[in-house]
Amino acid sequence: MNILNLPSPMARLTGRIPETNGGVMLCWCGSSITFKFRGTKCSVKAVNDNFGSETIVGSFIDGKEYQYKIPYGDSGKEIEIVLADDLREGEHVAVFYKRMEGHYITVREITCDGEFFDPPKAPKKRIEVYGDSVSAGSVVDCEEYVGKSDPEHKGQWDNAWHAYPQILARELPAEVYDTAQGGIAIFDGTGYFEMPDTKGMESCWEYSAYSSYRERIRWDFGFKPHVIIFAIGQNDAYPDPDVLKDPERREKWISKYIEIIEGVRSHSPKAAVVLALTVLMHDPAWDEALSEIANRLGGEGKHVYHYLYTRCGKATPGHPRYPEQREMAAEMKAFLTGLPEEIWA
């Protein structure tokens, strides 16, 4: 068996992935490792840091999706995850990815029974998405509940691979950093992330390892996106759904959102900004606030856009399932391909 120790130039990392503990740590949903090899089997050695329940990771090999459950009892132990053991003879491209929230997984090495090659190059277009559970792919694979409220679940239907940022990236094509976390809002103390002492994007946007349950690691912003999508605003209605009706609190929320956008954009000053909430049902007041943010930032003249999906805020009371995520990805692709060519230069 050949062993590829990570990090390695023969494994392409996508997402905010810090080097730590003798490997690379996948923290945000959709973070992935792409590699190319010859052989019939491959596996990874990893340490899963589980925050409270069983977790599932995924891979995509030769056009086929796989998933692997990691029991809660294996948290903190080095484990081997066999990605595939009966592949056809020849060369293969594999993507190992963080499928769901609620854990970090440090991948130390990849093994195969053949040899490794340089991985495929990343697409030239680059996108980053700041979002919540919709952008992270929560409950996306529960397709019998299309257009319905969520059933009781424990993460078994979460799948970042089927969330619109990842679909969009494959369709454009583009390299995407999916900086999304279920339940997150703008401010600490609002939304649902890390209840009861909730953390907002204001405390997370600068980090690669961002959970307050573990040591946090700052992100170096070495990835320079052409387009930055902000899809936050649906969880900000908790615990107070009327927050935007109060002029003072509305202004506070808009100002903080602008501060975060300007902070992100300071690292990629040429990037276009797209504000776009999702098809999950929500009060149109949040979309109106995003329009105001776009205008304050200079609007289209400064490459700042507010995009409304055809069914924005109207499609489903539950999380968008795979068909609805594909719908969003298709509409966003059409919008992005219509942007000025200079944005992608």
- List, for residues 154-169, the tens digit of each pLDDT value: 899 999 999 999 999 9
Residue 212 scores a pLDDT above 90 = yes
Q: Are residues 190 and 306 in the same domain?
A: yes
Q: Are residues 93 and 138 in the same domain?
A: no
Give the pLDDT confidence score for residue 174 in this predicted structure. 98
Would the CA dihedral through 175, 177, 183, 187 be positive or negative? negative
Residue 53 scores a pLDDT above 80 = no
Which of 117, 137, 162 terminates a domain? The answer is: 117
Q: Are residues 221 and 155 in the same domain?
A: yes
Residue 316 scores a pLDDT above 90 = yes
226 pLDDT band, cuts 50/70/90, is very high
Q: Are residues 101 and 133 in the same domain?
A: no
Does the predicted model carry a pTM greater than 0.85? Answer: yes
Q: Which tens digits make up the pLDDT trace of 324-334?
A: 999 999 999 99
Q: Are residues 86 and 212 in the same domain?
A: no
Whole-Å CA distances, 73 to 24, 79, 105: 22, 11, 14
Give the pLDDT confidence score for residue 94 in this predicted structure. 98
Q: Are residues 292 and 254 in the same domain?
A: yes
Arithmetic mean of pLDDT, 186-194: 97
Determine what percent of the chain is predicted with pLDDT higher than 70: 100
Residue 85 scores a pLDDT above 80 = yes
Question: CA 53 to CA 18: how far, in whole Å?
Answer: 23
Q: Are residues 84 and 183 in the same domain?
A: no
Give the pLDDT confidence score for residue 46 in this predicted structure. 97
Q: At what angle do helices 247-265 and 284-296 cross, to 10 degrees?
A: 50
Question: CA 322 to CA 162: how far, in whole Å?
Answer: 6
Residue 118 scores a pLDDT above 90 = yes
52 pLDDT band, cuts 50/70/90, is confident
Arithmetic mean of pLDDT, 289-300: 98
Arithmetic mean of pLDDT, 27-52: 96
Q: What's the distance, CA 338 to chain centroid?
A: 23
Give the pLDDT confidence score for residue 1 in this predicted structure. 87
Domain ranges, residue 89: 2-117
Residue 314 scores a pLDDT above 90 = yes
Arithmetic mean of pLDDT, 187-215: 97
43 pLDDT band, cuts 50/70/90, is very high
CB 231 within 8 A of CB 182: no
Q: Are residues 175 and 232 in the same domain?
A: yes
Give the pLDDT confidence score for residue 68 in this predicted structure. 97
Q: Are residues 204 and 179 in the same domain?
A: yes
Return the CATH number at 299: 3.40.50.1110
Both structure tokens of 304:
């700042």
Q: Are residues 113 and 241 in the same domain?
A: no
Q: Are residues 309 and 160 in the same domain?
A: yes
Whole-Å CA distances, 248 to 123, 186, 242: 44, 16, 12
Which of 117, 152, 185 terminates a domain? The answer is: 117
Give the pLDDT confidence score for residue 287 in this predicted structure. 98
The total domain count for the chain is: 2
Arithmetic mean of pLDDT, 308-322: 98
Lowest mean pLDDT among 68-77, 80-89, 136-145, 266-275: 68-77
On average, the pLDDT of the chain sits at 97
Name the nearest CA neighbour of 182 among 211, 149, 208: 211
Which of 49, 84, 117 terminates a domain? The answer is: 117
Residue 152 scores a pLDDT above 90 = yes
Question: CA 64 to CA 107: how far, in whole Å?
Answer: 21
Q: Are residues 211 and 327 in the same domain?
A: yes
Return the CATH number at 41: 2.60.120.260
Identify the helix (H) or strand (E) that includes residue 255: helix 247-265
Cβ atoms within 10 Å, residue 149: 10
Beta bridge partners of 4: 110
Residue 218 scores a pLDDT above 90 = yes
